[in-house]
A = this chain, B = another copy of it.
Amino acid sequence: MSGNSFGVIFRFTTFGESHGQAIGAIVDGVPPRLSLTEADIQMWLDKRRPGLSPFTTQRQEPDRVQILSGVYEGMTTGTPIGLLIANVDWRAKDYADLLTAFRPGHADYSYWKKYGVRDPRGGGRSSARETAMRVAAGAIARIVLGSSVTIRGAMIQLGTQTIDRTRWDWTEVPRNPFFCPDPVAVHAWERCLDSVRKRGSSIGAVIEVTAEGVPPGLGTPVYDKLDADLAKALMSINAVKGVEIGAGFSAATLSGEENADEMRISQEGRELFLSNNAGGILGGISSGQPIVARLAVKPTSSILTPRRTIDIYYKEKEIVTRGRHDPCVGLRAVPVAEAMLACTLADHMLRQRAQCG
């Protein structure tokens, strides 16, 4: 009810602030007898980890995950999986200025209005640190989905610079710090982000995530449509301001003829879609085509340029956020968005099994 859980059957609940002792999660509803080790989770956490390139916060967090329960001799037992990551690099002093003033565009103000109190160290619960646990849960979700489902993500726009989709190369994505699938765009983005970083500014981005091999039939018809749950999953990631599925906002500009994904029978006698404007979801239910979603990430509000604000005493102020911040939070959002897609699909796969066998 207080929004720290995600999913219905495959369900995880998290706790932890940016500068507390630890962050953690309980992943519940995992089927028994799946092979699972800490390394299976760690490999995905390492992709999200800060401090890996000059383009992410220089906070050094090893993000070493511990499995505390739910696994016996390398195999899930069906009981809840307790996960823990100790917070190592707390530098709460960086945040001394923020104790009373609100960063414009940040959750400081709304938390204070909601709770009448807040943990000001590093944004507390609103910190992107929380997303480490989404990635950990997503790693388990991938195992639940099995090897026939492939989930991948890429950054397709940095500020106003978009990729050229004809150059899309998935093998390029892990080779650059931007998760960029277009090897040409990488160079321009490097210059752009370097300049943003140097002037203490920040910049937004657009990310695309896809899931291939998803069986048809996942999702429910009305309020928990697969795309509705996916929109929630992705919009719940820090700094995301927009989500679209398949043709998305451009579907508004199409005619019914253009938008319809026509069908034929393949040589193997199987259904064949001639396009994928639907992004793999029809009437809220997966069609068997690849799931395709995009999300817009705003620039982080923690910047070095002074901004006008107020404080808790209703005094006007100027604020500069020192600390260590990401010039483009979109970068680290790629593994997080993949994880949320994985969790949404794993949950709906078990839900489908529950009702339809």
A91 close to B (CB within 8 Å): no
Name the segment of A55-63, A166-174, A179-187, A253-261 touching the other chain. A253-261
- Contact residue among B125, B204, B232, B257 (Cβ-Cβ distance under 8 Å from A305): B257
With A232-B228, A282-B110, A285-B111 given, is the CB distance from A1 to B6 under 8 Å?
Answer: no
Chain B residue contacts of A1, Cβ below 8 A: 1, 8-9, 11, 28-29, 351, 354-355
A159 partner residues in chain B, CB cutoff 8 A: 252-255
Q: Is A44 an interface residue (CB 8 A)?
A: no
**Contact, CB under 8 Å: B14 / A222:** yes
Chain B nearest Cβ from A215, distance in angstroms = 8
| Given A1-B351, A223-B3, A301-B256, A263 contacting B69 (CB threshold 8 A) | no
- How far, in angstroms, from A222 to B263 measured CA to CA in the complex? 40
Instruction: State how many angstroms separate the Cβ of A146 from the closest Cβ of chain B.
Output: 12
* B residues in contact with A16, CB < 8 Å: 68-69, 80, 82
A248 B241 Cβ-Cβ under 8 A: yes
> Known interface pairs A15-B68, A68-B16, A241-B248. Does A110 touch B216 (Cβ–Cβ under 8 Å)?
yes
Question: Any chain B CB within 8 A of the CB of A177?
Answer: no
Further contacts, 15 of them, CB under 8 A, given A110-B287, A232-B232: A2-B224, A4-B220, A14-B222, A24-B84, A29-B354, A72-B119, A77-B118, A105-B256, A107-B284, A202-B256, A203-B255, A203-B256, A204-B251, A204-B254, A228-B233
Does A208 sit at the interface, judged by CB under 8 A? no
Instruction: Give the distance in Å from the alpha carbon of A353 to the alpha carbon of B5 in the complex.
Output: 19
Given the interface pairs A69-B23, A117-B32, A126-B283, the reply to whether A299 lies near B223 with Cβ below 8 Å is no
Cβ-defined contact, A9 with B300, below 8 A: no
Complex alpha-carbon distance, A175 and B33, angstroms = 47
Please name the residue on chain B nearest to A241 by beta carbon: B251
Determine if A191 is an interface residue (Cβ-Cβ < 8 Å). Answer: no
Chain B residues near A196 (CB-CB < 8 A): 255
| Structural contact, A236 and B243, CB atoms closer than 8 A | no
Residue contact B241 to A246, C-beta cutoff 8 Å: yes
Assembly CA distance A134 to B114 (angstroms): 28
By size class, the interface of chain A is 35 or more
CA distance A191 to B349 in the complex (A): 46
For A237, give the chain B residue with the smallest CB separation: B228
Min CB gap A19→B, angstroms: 10
Q: Determine the distance from Cα of A128 to Cα of B102 in the docked complex, in whole angstroms.
A: 44
Contact (Cβ within 8 A) A256 B28:
no
A32 touching B115, Cβ below 8 Å: yes
**A26 near B: Cβ within 8 Å?**
yes
Q: In chain B, what residue has the closest Cβ to A348?
A: B3
Our pick among B84, B106, B205, B355 for the contact of A2 (Cβ within 8 Å) is B355
* Contacts A32-B356, A68-B20, A287-B113; A104 near B262 (Cβ below 8 A): yes
A231 at the interface (CB under 8 A from B): yes
Flag whether A89 is at the interface (Cβ < 8 A).
no
Interface string of A112-124 (1 = CB under 8 A from B): 0111111100001
State whether the Cβ of A51 lies closer than 8 Å to any Cβ in chain B.
no
Given contacts A229-B232, A263-B310, A307-B260, contact A117 B72 (CB under 8 A): yes
